[in-house]
Structure 1
Amino acid sequence: MTGPEDPGSVAAGVPGRWSRVWRAVVVLVSVPVLIFMAGGASLYALSLGTPAPRSYTRGQDAVWLGHAWVDGRKGDRELAALATRLRGSGISDLYLHTGPLDYDGTLPASLYPRAAWAVAALHSIMPGLRVHAWLGQRVEPGELDLSSPAVRANIVRSAGQALATGFDGIHYNFEPVPDGDPGLLTLLDATRAAIPPGHGVLSMSAHHVEPVPGMSLGGRLLGYAKWWTPGYLTQVARRLDQVAVMSYDTAQPTEALYAGYVRRQTELALAAVPPGTRLLMGLPAYHDENPTHHASAETVSAAIKGVRLGLGAAGRERFGVALYVDFTATDYDWTSYRLGWTSPTSLP
Structure 2
Amino acid sequence: MVESAVERAVEPDPIPEPRRRDPLKRPVAWYRRLPRWSRRTLAALVALCTLLGTLVGVTGAALFVEGAGTPPAAAHSTGDDALWLGHAWVGWQPGSAGAPKTDADLQALVDQVRSSGIKDLFVHDGPFEMDGSLNPARSPKAEWFIDAVHRELPGVRVQAWLGQVVGGTSLHLDDPATRGRIVAGVGAALDRGFDGVHFDFEPVADGDSGFLDVVGAAHAVTASHHALLSVSVPQVEPMTGFRLPGDLLAGHPKWWSQAYLRRVAVDCDQVAVMAYDTSLPTAWAYRGYVARQTQVALSAVPSNVQLLMGVPAFHTHDPGHWVDAETMPAALDGIRLGLGAHPPARPFGVALYVDFAATPADWSAYRSDWLTTAH
Partner of 1:327: 356
Partner of 1:300: 328
Taking the TM superposition and a 5 Å limit, the aligned residue runs for 1:309-348 are 309-316=337-344, 317-345=346-374
Rounded to whole Å, the distance in 2 between the matches of 1:233 and 1:35 is: 23
Partner of 1:202: 229
Rounded to whole Å, the distance in 2 between the matches of 1:205 and 1:14 is: 49
Given candidates 91, 95, 101, the residue that maps to 1:71 is 91
Instruction: Decide whether the 8 Å contact of 2:196 with 2:222 is kept in 1.
Output: no
Secondary structure in structure 1 of the residue aligned to 2:159: strand
1:214 Cα offset (Å): 2.7
Q: Tell me: CA distance 1:15–1:108, structure 2 relative to 1, closer, same or farther (3 Å).
A: closer
- Amino acid paired to 1:160: G
Q: Tell me: CA distance 1:231–1:15, structure 2 relative to 1, closer, same or farther (3 Å).
A: closer
Given candidates 217, 226, 230, the residue that maps to 2:258 is 230
Deviations 1:21-52 (A, max 9, x none): 69968766555334312211210111111222
- Amino acid paired to 1:17: P
Given candidates 16, 22, 26, the residue that maps to 2:26 is 16
Deviations 1:218-257 (A, max 9, x none): 4667872211110110111110110000011001111110
Identity %: 46
Given candidates 16, 32, 35, the residue that maps to 2:52 is 32
- Amino acid paired to 1:293: H
Structure with the greater alpha carbon radius of gyration: 2
Taking the TM superposition and a 5 Å limit, the aligned residue runs for 1:139-288 are 139-197=166-224, 199-218=226-245, 224-288=252-316
Instruction: Decide whether the 8 Å contact of 2:74 with 2:374 is kept in 1.
Output: no
Given candidates 82, 96, 105, the residue that maps to 1:62 is 82
Deviations 1:160-179 (A, max 9, x none): 11111111000000001111
Deviations 1:130-171 (A, max 9, x none): 000000000122211111110011001111111111110000
Secondary structure in structure 2 of the residue aligned to 1:294: coil
Rounded to whole Å, the distance in 2 between the matches of 1:63 and 1:151 is: 28
Secondary structure in structure 1 of the residue aligned to 2:368: helix
Secondary structure in structure 2 of the residue aligned to 1:170: strand
Partner of 2:107: 80
Secondary structure in structure 2 of the residue aligned to 1:205: strand
Q: How many residues align?
A: 342
- Deviates most, 212-221 or 278-287: 212-221
Q: What root-mean-square deviation, in Å, do the aligned CA atoms of Structure 1 and Structure 2 show?
A: 2.6
Rounded to whole Å, the distance in 2 between the matches of 1:179 and 1:13 is: 42
Deviations 1:98-122 (A, max 9, x none): 0111011111121001100011112
Rounded to whole Å, the distance in 1 between the matches of 2:292 and 2:60 is: 13
Secondary structure in structure 1 of the residue aligned to 2:172: coil
Partner of 1:98: 125
Rounded to whole Å, the distance in 2 between the matches of 1:83 and 1:191 is: 30
Partner of 2:39: none
- Amino acid paired to 2:286: Y
Q: Tell me: CA distance 1:45–1:117, structure 2 relative to 1, closer, same or farther (3 Å).
A: same
1:15 Cα offset (Å): 5.7
1:88 Cα offset (Å): 2.2
- Amino acid paired to 1:323: L
- Deviates most, 274-283 or 336-345: 336-345
Instruction: Decide whether the 8 Å contact of 2:76 with 2:374 is kept in 1.
Output: no
Deviations 1:178-202 (A, max 9, x none): 1111111111111122234462111
Instruction: Decide whether the 8 Å contact of 2:234 with 2:273 is kept in 1.
Output: yes
Is residue 2:299 matched to residue 1:289? no
1:14 Cα offset (Å): 9.6
Rounded to whole Å, the distance in 1 between the matches of 2:328 and 2:72 is: 18
Rounded to whole Å, the distance in 1 between the matches of 2:225 and 2:203 is: 30
Taking the TM superposition and a 5 Å limit, the aligned residue runs for 1:118-129 are 118-129=145-156
Rounded to whole Å, the distance in 1 between the matches of 2:328 and 2:62 is: 21
Instruction: Decide whether the 8 Å contact of 1:178 with 1:220 is kept in 2.
Output: no
- Deviates most, 261-270 or 161-170: 161-170
- Amino acid paired to 1:18: V
Instruction: Decide whether the 8 Å contact of 1:243 with 1:279 is kept in 2.
Output: yes
Rounded to whole Å, the distance in 1 between the matches of 2:205 and 2:75 is: 32
- Amino acid paired to 2:363: W
- Deviates most, 318-327 or 25-34: 25-34
Instruction: Decide whether the 8 Å contact of 1:209 with 1:230 is kept in 2.
Output: yes
- Deviates most, 291-300 or 195-204: 195-204
Rounded to whole Å, the distance in 2 between the matches of 1:271 and 1:21 is: 49
Partner of 1:43: 63
- Amino acid paired to 2:322: H
Rounded to whole Å, the distance in 2 between the matches of 1:297 and 1:133 is: 30
